[in-house]
Structures are given as C-alpha cells and as structure tokens.
C-alpha cells in the first residue's frame, strides 16, 4: 500500500480570503516577515496496489475531474516517500 | 393541466420541501425527484434546491454533480428544459459546467443569512419572465460559499450577452465579482442564483415578503403558455 | 493483553483495577463489587464509571431535581414528563411538541467549533429519538469578558460551530442568548436547545421490550473519539488527566446527522421501531443499559459486530466511545429487512448488534466470550445519590448589603444620555446580529419570528396556522445575588418573552449551569435555584418537562455565577396574530405595562457604569407575570396591539431603542408623574412590557388593563427619527444604530 | 524569498467527514483501489528572509498555536524545494 498526495491550491489570480485572514493575524501573534499566505487542500489517498504510471495517470484524472475544480484551482500529484517527515 | 416542476433531493438537500411549497403556492404541481433515479418523471422543468448536498464536502455541489439524476438533468437542460439552481443548486450547476464560473467561500469567511436586495437584470429567461428588467426585489440570502468568480473574459462575455441575471444591490454580501448574484446560460433556460426565492413566497413567514414568487409564476406561465 | 471476561474476573477476584483513574470513588467501586458479587470486568468497570459520572447519573443534583416531579402544576398538556430523552406536551389539533436544552460547556472551551457543533448534534438526536421532526434550534451562550483575548478564540469558534452544524442540518435557529461576564472566562457556557413536532401517535420511547426483538445500531461508524469525554470532561476539572489517552473531543458530521434524521423519520412513518435511543454521552454504555433498563426483559449484545472506524479499539473503548451521529433501535424481527432498506436508501450504515432476551441481564459478548453481565438498572438508573452538604455562603449577606441604590446616579440629563448611549453599546446590550446572521433562520419555510424578537416562533400547521414559540433566559447576576429569586426571574423573563410574542406559555425545560457541587456554597446556590424554579413553575402552571445539569463550571476556587437557563415553550393558535417587537406605525401610542420601582441590583446599568454587582435583584411577583401575560396574549389575539417588547436588562430605554431600531421609527417619551427620568428609563423591575397601540384601540386596551388590575401608563408615541425623552435628551436613530450595531463586529469580526 | 509549507491533517483517530465523503464517491466515479482518503489543509507561507533554524522554529510555533488545533490535528512543516514539482 502506498500513499499518494494531491495538493490543491486556488489559482494565484483568485482571491484567497482564508490565506489572507491568516496573514492578517500574524502581526497580532507577533510574527513578522511572512509576506504572503495561501491556504489550500491536501488529500492523502491510500492506494491499494502498486503506484505505477497507470495508477498515477488515473489519480491525475481523478484530481482533474473531481478533487480540484480547474476553473479556480491548480493541483499537484505526488507519491509520498515512505519515510516520515520529521515534525 | 398545470405544469409539473421537479424538485431534486440529494442527500443533504435542505430546501426541497420549501421549494415544493413555493411551486404549489404558484399553482404548479411539485414532483419530488430522487438523486439516485435517472427518471425525471416527465416533468416540464427542474429545480435544484438549496442545502448542503453531501455536506458541501470537497466543494459545494462537487459530489452531487455525479449523481444519476444529474445525468438526465444535464441532458435535458442541453435540450432546452428549464432548470433553476438555487444556492446549492447553483453551485451544482457551475460544477457541471452548465453555467460558467465557480462558487467560493465568502470573502468574510462566515455563513451569512440576510434579507438581500437584488436587481433582476433580465427578464428574458425562463425563470424571470414575470419580472421587469431592472426590477429590484428583496429575498433571503443564506450561504457560506456564495462568492461568484470567473475569469475576466468569461465575465465580460456574460455582461456582453446579457447573461448576468441578478446583481446584488446596496451590499455585496460575499465578494462576488461584479456583484453577480445569479446568471443564465445562453438559451435562458438554465438559471442559477445564490439567494432563495422559495423563501419569499408567503407574507407570513421568513422576511414577510413575496418577492420570490415571480420565479415560480414565470415558469408556470412560460410552460403553460408554450403548450 | 488478555480479554477480561466475566469468567476471568471470577477467577481473579483480587486483580487491581483503575477505578480511581476512571473517576470512581472507593465506596462506588465497592458497590459495584457488591452488585455483581465479584469484581467487575474491564468493560463493566468502563460502563459503570461512565454511567455513574456526574454528567450521566446526576448524582449530586438528583435529590434537588426531584422537586420538579413533585411540585407539578395542574397541566393537562403534559404527555411525557421527566425521565425520557425529552418531555412532550400537547399543543392541540393532534400535535405534540418535544423540546429540551442541554449543555456542551467544557468541550466548547477546549475545541470551540467542534464542542459547540456536537452540542447541537446531541440535542437534535434527543428530540429525534422521541419520534419528532426537529423544527428549530436555540442557543443560550455565555462567554468571558468581551474584550478578553481568549473570548476572541472561543466566541467565533462556538458561533461557527453552532452555525456550521445547525445550518447544514436545515434547522432554523430562532433564538438564544449571548451574555458576557468575566465569571465565565475559563468556563464558557454553550447550551443548545431543540424543538420537535410530531403527532400524538408518533411518540416513541427509549425502551427495549419483546423477547427476540433485534437491537440495531445505525448511523456513523464507531471511532476512538470522545472516549472518556463524558467522565473526564463533564465531571472533573480540566487539570485531571484521567484515562483519556484518546482525544476527548468529538468531531461532528452534520451531513451524516441530516441523513440520520431523514432516515429515522421515514422509519417512524412506517412504524418500524419498538423502542429507540440516541447515542450521546457514554455512547453504547448508555444506550444499551438505558434501553434494557427501561424495558421489560434483558438484552444481549455482540460488541464485535459494531462497525468500527478504527479497528484497534478495545471492547471497553467501543462501549465508551462518544462517536457522534449514531442511534440505537429495537425492531421486531419481521421488520428488520424494511428497516435496513430504508437505511440503505439514505446511505446510513445499520447493523444488528444484539437482541432483547428473556430475563433481566444486560449481557455483552466479544467474539463469543462474555465480557459484561449486569443488571441494567444498576448501571442506568440506580447510580449513586449524594446528599452533598450545602450552606448559605458566608459572603452572601455582605453582597446583598452592598446596595446598588447607593451608586452615584447621573448628575444631569447630559450625563444620563451619555450613560444610556454607553449602555446601548455595551457588549451585553449591543445588537447580536453579527452572530445571529451566521445562523440560517429561514430554512424549512415556517419561521414566523426569529432573533432579535422576544421569542422565536415557528408555524406547525400550514392549514390552521398553529404555531409554537420559545424563549430562553437566565440572568447569572441576579442569581448570584439571590439564587432562589434569580431562578424565578429567569423563568419569569422567558415566560414574559413568549407571552409578548403572542403565544401562551405551556411548559419549560432548563439547563442548570453551576460550579463545583463539592463546594457547599455552590451546592446552596443549586439547592436554592432548583427550589425557586420548582416553586415558580408550580405557581405559573408551567411544568418542567426535562432539562440538563452542568456542574464543575469553575476554575480553581472560583465558580461561575449560578446560571439557571430556562426555556419556555408556548403555543399560538394562529400565527398571523403574532406580535413583533418593531414599532412601525407613526402615531401609535406607547404604553408601559406593570410597575416601575427603583431596582438596580444586578442591573445592566450597575455593571456598565459602575462595574458593580451587589444588593438584591428585582422583586419577583409571579401573579403579576401571569396577569401581564394574559393581557399581552388577549391584546394580540384581539388586534389591540401592533408591537410588544418585554422589559428586562437595560430597562425601558433598552427596550424602546430595540423596538425603534427594528421598526426604523423614532419615539417621543414623557417621564410619567411620580418617577424620575433615571428610574423610568433604567430600572429593571420585573413584570413589565412596552406595547404599541393603534389609536383606534386605545380605549379598549386601557379599559381591559384597568378592568383586570394591570397598571398601565401612557409613556409616549411612535414618531420621528430619534428617541426623544422630553425635557431630558434626544438620541437620533442613526446615533443609536451605530452604538448598538458596531460593538460586536468591532470586537470579533 | 522562500516558501515554507505547513500541512495540517486531522489526527488519524479523529473522524474526517470530508475525506470520508470523497472516498465514498469514488466508486461511483469509477475509481477502485483507493482504500482511504483523508482531507487536510495546506498552507503556503512566503518567507521574506532566509529560512534558517530560527525562522523554522518560529513557523513551527505558528503552526502549533494558530494554523493547527493540536487537540484534533497534526501538522508538518516543510521547506519547499525551489524547483517546482512537475504537475
Ligand atoms: N435540570 C433538569 N430538570 C429537569 N429534568 C432534568 C434536568 N436535568 C436532567 N433532567 C432529566 O433527566 C433525564 C436524563 O437527562 P439526560 O441524561 O440529560 O438525558 P440524555 O440521556 O438524553 O442526555 C432527562 O429526562 C432530563 O430531561
Ligand atoms: Mg438522550
């Protein structure tokens, strides 16, 4: 079993009020030096079989038709490394 | 015989019974349609009502769009059957691309429920014939994903073709581009809007106004007249 | 780890058990051993500990709540009383209404959004379990100081959670409260109420009967969330960590709950259930033991058949899990197939997990091995009962002696005007529209009145225009000064609000929010408040149909103000006769009903201007409240008044300002003879309302009041674009609107 | 300027209604072989200065106190490689 991640972000030209709300709150929290924040979605898919090219192509199609609305969003499909990121 | 108006229920649809009531108040017959059935029961028109179909999970309208009933609705809409999408129904219509653009989280990030003033920009759609072009009406608005967006080219095209059907007046409640509250397709049979005409058909309830009744009398006239 | 079966427990009588970590006291553990004649298994221990927690067993409050069942007024509207998921009253034309208020205080402090959201979900399932379609929700809320940084975290989250859940369910939010006071800083109160409507014959009860009937669990899968939430969150203070190695917070799925509602209503329509219970606090432990305890016969459950979200859960955890959006039904065998079909139609997972058995035991198995064998009553209904010591606090006399009438009053009209403007803009008196606009009040198409009206009102029958109304109230400041009177004032205010809308008050529910019952001061407050409420209900003829108790709302030694919240349900035969608060028609006459005395103890004025709490709360006169209500109801029915607004915190001026802003008209007021302007405008004497009377009705109206002995004073006229108090000051509507509207968004937007 | 990404996911034991709804829809769309879907949030922060240990520590704190609610969510902070992922 492997994990495939689909990151979906609003296109750069689309207003992202959630990201803005975070950014506006930063100074209040004492954070300086972050010039932009965008908020998007992350999907973690557990894939049963091997993640070969065919599987990736299918997931790409899934992202394009379903997980993202390409009128407003961009997406990236990644195979997650088995090693866990350090927190 | 009066017109048969189908009202679709998806899992999580909320305003289906209210829409059926509005259809009846206008004098038409309301026909419940179930999301799993492809059969449209020979209705003359379809309303996709408001609510949170599939919890609005993923994106509002994104999951309902793939239901069996929508296959038929898309097909019939393309063939000219009148379809009205209210709120969540509008979101479904944009997800199916029967209407251009997309709906996003309100710019203030909150759910908003208010009595909203609109201008009916065109009465040459199946659902607005009973209004004057330019008429101002007030009907309830209630949503969290009501911000209409589309690229500049699409917006220009909509304006040029007179397809902006409703515009917010006084306040833009959610950051919708060009104050757009609702749009129509080129043929004028498919209309979507965020505010809720079905909640403004009886003087007693809600805001006490009946400004929304015109949607349902328009379609009735349109259909019965066409027979 | 080996499975702790009943057999194993018999063989290992001396095995150590973590009863103390689970919140049980030594004598409670002993009692369990006595009941069972052996040590409990781990699963049994989990069940007893959670069911005997304060939250589920009412062990500290029971002895006082008894009064609600003893001092019952003559009232033939009661169909189902205290003891079921919610009480049911007859509202006529064959309709019955069920309603209840519950707290979700502690979870909402930890995770405001989910805590509040699951609070709404829980109360809605209670109403659903009675057989009713939920038709409206209300949300009485209390927060710390409005300008405290943590309130900025808690309030927006709570409001978004209530909206996020309720809006997605399609339930109009028609009322509630938002109150700020530093006493709620670490202990916000998130109470949620729901109203449901059904026909008399649709009433369902939570009991399991009929040997061979199947026990069906349906709704969401069971996960590891909220395990120990009941005992750890609701019973002890936050410092104690207890057994919660799993997160104690539940996440709600309103979409799933919406499906559960529609699915359950369809199941009711086809009369497929013999008994039904929602799963709330204590999850399956509660549902199985309560169903079995209330019915005849026993119950057998195969716990390994429960659909799980997390396969690593132990049987104990499955029993305690508070995963949301689940229900448990008892179904005759030949109806099971149809039951399953309806669940499938609504995409709801349903599983037969057991059956009703002969005998009187609740037996639970795990892969064929018995892990629970208990008499269900001992779990569900025969928990410990404490007679906690209580005593009038040593500071109570000094608090009452600190008379608010001694506070400096405004020196002149200019200062009076300034203070009134400050009052209108203060967080407690300011418009809550920024909050309530985040709630859908129109859905279902039956909303007659909603915020900011005195009471919420929904139409029940589209043909006859029968409707019901509800208001919730509770003034913790009054209750702190005198808990007996404070509870009665909460009742009186809520009753008055319902009457002001034109509906006849029928019955009440309550949510009693207090500090630690282990503190004799708090226990005295609780005893006094329940006594006051029970006496008040007896006098007003409004029985208590049910309610909820939330204790341990305190941080360290400091308890919240005693906060009994009362929800009054009323009925109106014809909703077209409802009375709104808005002054609309220029030239209509304004009348003040009731008597005004110099009563400022616990008042909004004393808080806003002097930051003071002392003296006595306003005097309670329930006979007067009843008379006032009768007059308001007849006047609305006979078309003698066009608007009515009850007077409460902030006094007359607050009410007039709200009615003017709502109707977008001004008012000219004259200070009546025998009163000074300050007392006239700001006193909080109870039993009063202001009404707007068409000139053609003036005589008929004043005659009616005169004949029935209700003091009535003409105080002015609806007119212009300002609130003008002759000889004192003028405040323009624009000025007032700005003061009233901008405070809450200024703090939280 | 560098981009730091904070991924916030519900803890595994917490119900994820969104992910569940997506997963349940997959068969209907003709997608098999995905055994689990979790949906979380992705924040993209544009950081002005160098992303040194101090900056990362601050962002970690930001994530812990603001971007995630650690009662129910876990998070991971990553420095995004300058090279853009292929779509
Ligand atoms: N303050 C109260 N006044 C009257 N009845 C109460 C009060 N608190 C609890 N009850 C009643 O006790 C019973 C059990 O309450 P509770 O455990 O809150 O119900 P549930 O199991 O549905 O959560 C209910 O009938 C409830 O109405
Ligand atoms: Mg219950």
Q: What is the CATH number of the domain that holds D14?
A: 3.30.1280.10
* Chain center to CA of C520: 25
Structure ipTM:
0.91
Q: Does residue C618 register a pLDDT over 70?
A: yes
* CA dist B121 → B155, B164, B167, D71 (Å): 15, 7, 7, 49
**pLDDT (tens digit, 9 = 90+) per residue, C36-58?**
999 999 999 999 998 999 989 99
Distance CA C432, CA C745 (A): 9
Instruction: Enumerate the residues of chain B whose CB falls inside 8 A of the CB of residue C446.
Output: 205
Domain that holds residue A40: 2-80
The enclosing domain of C291 has a CATH number of: 3.90.650.10
**Non-local CB neighbours of C204 within 8 Å, separated by 6+ positions:** C129, C130, C131, C268, C273, C275, C276
**What is the average pLDDT across D30-42?**
93
pLDDT of amino acid A28: 82
Q: Where do the domains of chain B lie?
A: 4-226
Q: Would D61 be classed as within a structural domain?
A: yes
Interchain pair D67, A22: CB under 8 A: yes
Q: Would C253 be classed as within a structural domain?
A: yes
**Non-local CB neighbours of C650 within 8 Å, separated by 6+ positions:** C423, C424, C429, C604, C605, C682, C684
Distance CA C327, CA C280 (A): 9
Q: Pick A69's closest partner by Cβ from B62, B108, B175.
A: B62
Number of domains within chain A: 1
Chains in contact with C via at least 3 Cβ–Cβ pairs below 8 Å:
B, D
**pLDDT (tens digit, 9 = 90+) per residue, B31-54?**
999 999 999 999 999 999 999 999
Q: Would A86 be classed as within a structural domain?
A: no
**pLDDT (tens digit, 9 = 90+) per residue, D64-87?**
989 998 888 999 999 986 544 444
Number of domains within chain C: 1
Closest Cα in chain B, distance from residue D22 (Å)? 7
Q: Pick C111's closest partner by Cβ from D15, D20, D71.
A: D71
Confidence class for position C94, pLDDT limits 50, 70, 90: very high
Domain that holds residue C270: 6-10+19-61+202-380
Mean pLDDT of chain C: 94
Structure tokens of A17?
Answer: 């009020």
Confidence class for position B1, pLDDT limits 50, 70, 90: low
Is ligand 1 within 6 A of the CB of residue C83? yes
Is residue C441 within 8 A of residue C173, CB to CB? The reply is yes
- Residue with the nearest Cα to atom 17 of ligand 1? C56
**Non-local CB neighbours of A51 within 8 Å, separated by 6+ positions:** A2, A4, A79
**pLDDT (tens digit, 9 = 90+) per residue, B88-105?**
999 999 999 999 999 999
Residues of chain D above pLDDT 70, percent: 92
pLDDT of amino acid D83: 47
Closest CA to C629 of C539, C689, C564: C689
What does residue D62 show for φ and ψ, rounded to 5 degrees? -60, -45
Distance CA C415, CA C425 (A): 15
| Cβ count within 10 A of residue C180 | 25
pLDDT of amino acid B227: 55
Exposed, middle or buried: residue A86 (CB in 10 Å: 0-12, 13-18, 19+)?
exposed
Buried b (16+ CB within 10 A) or exposed e, A19-36: bbebbeebeeeebeebeb
Find where tokens 């997390």 sit.
Answer: C310
Residue to mutate (ligand 1; options C57, C60, C82; most atoms within 8 A of CB): C82
**pLDDT (tens digit, 9 = 90+) per residue, C429-484?**
999 999 999 999 999 999 999 999 999 999 999 999 999 999 999 999 999 999 99
User: Nearest chain B Cα to D17, which residue?
Assistant: B57
Find where tokens 């004259």 sit.
Answer: C670
Q: Does domain B4-226 have CATH number 1.10.3210.10?
A: no
Closest CA to C262 of B10, D79, D83: B10
When mean pLDDT is compared over A28-37, C289-298, C720-729, the highest value belongs to: C720-729
**Non-local CB neighbours of B132 within 8 Å, separated by 6+ positions:** B120, B123
Q: Left if phi > 0, otherwise alpha if psi is -120 to 50, otherwise beta: which for C170?
A: left
Interchain pair C445, B52: CB under 8 A: no
Residue A61 at interface with chain B, using a CB cutoff of 8 Å: no
Q: Would A12 be classed as within a structural domain?
A: yes
Note if the bond before C452 is cis, omega within 30 degrees. Answer: yes
Confidence class for position A22, pLDDT limits 50, 70, 90: very high
Closest Cα in chain D, distance from residue B39 (Å)? 18
Closest CA to C187 of C109, C264, C123, C135: C109
Strands B112-120 and B135-143: antiparallel
Q: Provide the number of CB pairs (under 8 Å) joining chain B to chain D.
A: 21
**What is the average pLDDT across C17-33?**
92
Confidence class for position D1, pLDDT limits 50, 70, 90: confident
By residue count, chain B amounts to 227
**What is the average pLDDT across C94-103?**
97
Exposed, middle or buried: residue C557 (CB in 10 Å: 0-12, 13-18, 19+)?
exposed
Is ligand 1 within 6 A of the CB of residue C126? yes
Strands C712-718 and C173-180: unpaired
Query: What is the value of pTM for the model shown?
Result: 0.94
pLDDT of amino acid C444: 96
**pLDDT (tens digit, 9 = 90+) per residue, C656-679?**
999 999 999 999 999 999 999 999
**pLDDT (tens digit, 9 = 90+) per residue, A38-64?**
999 999 999 988 889 999 999 999 999
By residue count, chain D amounts to 87
Strands B147-149 and B135-143: unpaired
Is ligand 1 within 6 A of the CB of residue C376? no
Q: Does residue C324 register a pLDDT over 90?
A: yes
Identify the DSSP state of C406. Answer: G
Confidence class for position A76, pLDDT limits 50, 70, 90: very high
pLDDT of amino acid C231: 37
pLDDT of amino acid C659: 98
Instruction: Enumerate the residues of chain A whose CB falls inside 8 A of the CB of residue D75.
Output: 87
Closest Cα in chain A, distance from residue D48 (Å)? 5
Distance CA C469, CA C440 (A): 17
Distance CA C133, CA C127 (A): 8
Confidence class for position B188, pLDDT limits 50, 70, 90: very high
Instruction: Enumerate the residues of chain C whose CB falls inside 8 A of the CB of residue B11.
Output: 255, 258-259, 346-347
When mean pLDDT is compared over A74-83, C115-124, D47-56, the highest value belongs to: C115-124
Q: Would A87 be classed as within a structural domain?
A: no
Q: Would C520 be classed as within a structural domain?
A: no
User: Nearest chain B Cα to A67, which residue?
Assistant: B58
User: Nearest chain A Cα to D12, which residue?
Assistant: A44
| Cβ count within 10 A of residue C639 | 12
**Non-local CB neighbours of C139 within 8 Å, separated by 6+ positions:** C116, C120, C162, C173, C175, C176, C177, C190, C191, C192, C193, C439
**pLDDT (tens digit, 9 = 90+) per residue, C223-256?**
987 775 433 333 333 333 333 344 567 889 999 9
Q: Could you report how far apart the first and last alpha carbons of chain A are, in Å?
A: 23
Is ligand 1 within 6 A of the CB of residue C285? no
């Amino acid at each position: 079993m492997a994990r495939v991640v689909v990151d979906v972000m609003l296109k750069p030209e689309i207003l992202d009020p959630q990201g803005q709300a975070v950014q506006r709150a930063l100074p209040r929290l004492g954070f300086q030096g972050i010039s932009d924040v965008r908020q998007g979605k992350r999907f973690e898919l557990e894939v049963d079989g091997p993640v070969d090219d065919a599987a990736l192509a299918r997931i790409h199609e899934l992202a394009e038709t379903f997980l993202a609305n390409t009128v407003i969003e961009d997406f990236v499909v990644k195979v997650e490394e088995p090693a866990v990121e350090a927190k | 015989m009066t017109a048969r108006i189908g009202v679709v229920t998806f899992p999580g649809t909320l305003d289906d019974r209210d829409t059926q009531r509005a259809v009846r108040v206008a004098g038409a017959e309301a026909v419940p349609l179930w999301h799993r059935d492809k059969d449209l029961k020979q209705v003359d028109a379809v309303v996709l009502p408001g609510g949170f179909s599939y919890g609005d999970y993923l994106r509002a309208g994104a999951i309902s769009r793939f239901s069996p009933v929508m296959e038929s609705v898309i097909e019939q809409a393309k063939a000219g059957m009148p379809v009205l999408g209210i709120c969540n129904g509008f979101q479904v219509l944009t997800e199916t691309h029967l209407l251009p653009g997309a709906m996003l989280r309100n710019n203030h990030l909150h759910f908003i429920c208010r009595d909203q003033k609109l201008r009916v920009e065109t009465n040459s759609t199946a659902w607005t014939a009973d209004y004057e072009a330019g008429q101002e009406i007030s009907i309830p608005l209630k949503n969290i994903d009501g911000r209409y967006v589309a690229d500049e080219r699409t917006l220009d095209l909509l304006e040029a073709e007179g397809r902006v059907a409703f515009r917010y007046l006084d306040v833009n409640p959610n950051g919708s581009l060009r104050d757009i509250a609702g749009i129509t397709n080129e043929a004028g049979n498919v209309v979507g809007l965020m505010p809720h005409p079905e909640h403004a058909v009886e003087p007693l309830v809600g805001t006490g106004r009946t400004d929304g009744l015109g949607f349902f009398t328009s379609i009735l006239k349109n259909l019965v007249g066409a027979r | 780890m080996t499975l702790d079966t009943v057999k194993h427990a018999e063989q290992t009588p001396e095995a150590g058990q973590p009863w103390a970590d689970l919140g049980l006291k030594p004598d409670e553990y002993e009692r369990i051993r006595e009941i069972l004649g052996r040590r409990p298994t781990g699963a049994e221990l989990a069940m007893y500990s959670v069911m005997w927690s304060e939250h589920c067993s009412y062990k500290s409050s029971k002895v006082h709540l008894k009064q609600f069942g003893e001092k019952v007024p003559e009232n033939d509207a009661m169909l189902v009383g205290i003891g079921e998921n919610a009480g049911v009253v007859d509202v006529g034309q064959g309709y019955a209404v069920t309603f209840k208020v519950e707290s979700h205080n502690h979870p909402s402090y930890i995770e405001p959004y989910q805590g509040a959201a699951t609070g709404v979900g829980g109360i809605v399932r209670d109403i659903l379990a009675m057989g009713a379609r939920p038709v409206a929700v209300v949300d009485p809320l209390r927060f710390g100081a409005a300008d405290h940084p943590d309130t900025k975290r808690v309030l927006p989250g709570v409001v978004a959670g209530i909206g996020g859940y309720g809006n997605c369910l399609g339930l109009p939010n028609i009322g509630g409260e938002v109150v700020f006071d530093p006493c709620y800083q670490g202990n916000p109160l998130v109470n949620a109420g729901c109203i449901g409507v059904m026909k008399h014959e649709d009433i369902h009860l939570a009991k399991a009967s009929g040997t061979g009937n199947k026990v069906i669990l349906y709704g969401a899968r069971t996960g590891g969330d909220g395990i120990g939430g009941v005992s750890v969150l609701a019973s002890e203070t936050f410092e104690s960590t207890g057994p919660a190695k799993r997160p104690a917070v539940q996440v709600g799925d309103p979409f799933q709950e919406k499906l559960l509602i529609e699915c359950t209503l369809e199941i009711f329509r086809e009369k497929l259930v013999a008994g039904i219970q929602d799963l709330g606090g204590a999850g399956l432990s509660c549902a199985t033991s309560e169903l079995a305890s209330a019915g005849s016969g026993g119950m057998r459950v195969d716990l390994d058949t429960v659909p799980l979200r997390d396969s690593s859960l132990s049987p104990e955890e499955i029993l305690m899990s508070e995963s949301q959006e689940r229900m448990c039904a008892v179904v005759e065998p030949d109806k099971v197939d149809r039951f399953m079909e309806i669940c499938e139609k609504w995409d709801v997972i349903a599983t037969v997990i057991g059956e009703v058995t002969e005998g009187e035991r609740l037996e639970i198995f795990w892969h064929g091995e018995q892990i629970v064998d208990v008499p269900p009553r001992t779990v569900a209904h025969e928990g410990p009962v404490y007679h906690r010591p209580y005593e009038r606090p040593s500071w109570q006399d000094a608090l009452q002696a600190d008379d608010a009438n001694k506070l400096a009053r405004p020196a002149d009209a200019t200062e009076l005007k300034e203070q009134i403007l400050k009052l209108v803009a203060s967080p407690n008196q300011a418009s809550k529209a920024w909050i309530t606009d985040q709630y859908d009040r129109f859905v279902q198409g039956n909303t007659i009145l909603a915020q900011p009206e005195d009471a919420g009102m929904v139409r029940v029958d589209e043909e006859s225009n029968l409707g019901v109304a509800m208001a919730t109230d509770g003034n913790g400041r009054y209750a702190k000064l005198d808990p007996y009177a404070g509870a009665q004032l909460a009742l009186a205010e809520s009753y008055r609000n319902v009457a002001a809308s034109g509906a006849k008050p029928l019955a009440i529910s309550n949510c009693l929010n207090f500090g630690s019952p282990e503190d004799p001061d708090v226990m005295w407050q609780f005893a006094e408040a329940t006594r006051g409420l029970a006496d008040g209900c007896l006098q007003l003829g409004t029985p208590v149909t049910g309610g909820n108790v939330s204790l341990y709302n305190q941080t360290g030694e400091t308890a919240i103000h005693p906060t009994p919240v009362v929800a009054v349900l009323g009925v109106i035969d014809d909703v077209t006769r409802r009375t709104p608060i808005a002054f609309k028609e220029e030239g209509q006459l304004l009348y003040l009903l009731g008597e005004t005395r110099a009563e400022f103890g616990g008042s909004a004025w004393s808080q806003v201007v002097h930051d003071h709490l002392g003296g006595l709360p306003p005097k309670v006169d329930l006979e007067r409240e009843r008379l006032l209500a009768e007059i308001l109801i007849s006047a609305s029915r006979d078309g003698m008044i066009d608007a009515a607004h009850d007077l409460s915190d902030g006094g007359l001026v607050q009410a007039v300002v709200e009615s003017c802003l709502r109707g977008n008209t001004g008012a000219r007021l004259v200070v009546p003879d025998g009163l000074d302007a300050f007392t006239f405008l700001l006193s909080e004497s109870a039993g009063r309302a202001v009404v707007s009377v068409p000139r053609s009705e003036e005589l008929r109206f004043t005659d009616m009041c005169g004949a029935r002995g209700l003091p009535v004073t003409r105080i002015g006229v609806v007119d212009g674009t300002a609130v003008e108090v002759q000889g004192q000051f003028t405040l323009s509507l624009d000025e007032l609107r700005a003061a009233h509207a901008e405070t809450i968004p200024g703090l939280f937007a």
